[in-house]
Amino acid sequence: MTTDRPVHPPVIEVLHVQDCPNYPEALAVVERVRTELGFHAELRTTLIADLAAAERARFPGSPTVRVDGRDVEPGSEPAEVTLACRLYRHEHRLAGQPEERWVREALLRATGRS
């Protein structure tokens, strides 16, 4: 069966501020999931250098992980733009990076495999 949906590799964005202590682990989460799923996804990392850049990117804090422009955190609401660290709401704790399952689900959804 064919679909009219264009097939494109998803774009993963990891946005961060300089010296963000959570950026390396967030990037590692993305890389682990991308490798586990075994398909090509473009990875873009973006340094948010100032408030103007944060406003243009609608940046809710560092790090922010998006797939095809959508935040991977389920139920995340547009937040105030900030250059501060971001905390993700895991089931039983707050953490500085998203859960692997959120990244996996976002990538599967972006490729139509959910």
Dump pLDDT digits (tens) for 18-37.
999 999 999 999 999 999 99
pLDDT 10s digits, 39-89:
788 999 999 999 999 999 999 999 999 999 999 999 887 678 888 899 888
Domain ranges (residues) in the chain: 11-110
Exposure pattern of 64-100 as b/e (b: 16+ CB <10 Å)? bbbbbeebbbeebeeeebebeebebeeeeeeebbbbe
Domain 11-110's class?
alpha beta
pTM of the entire predicted model: 0.87
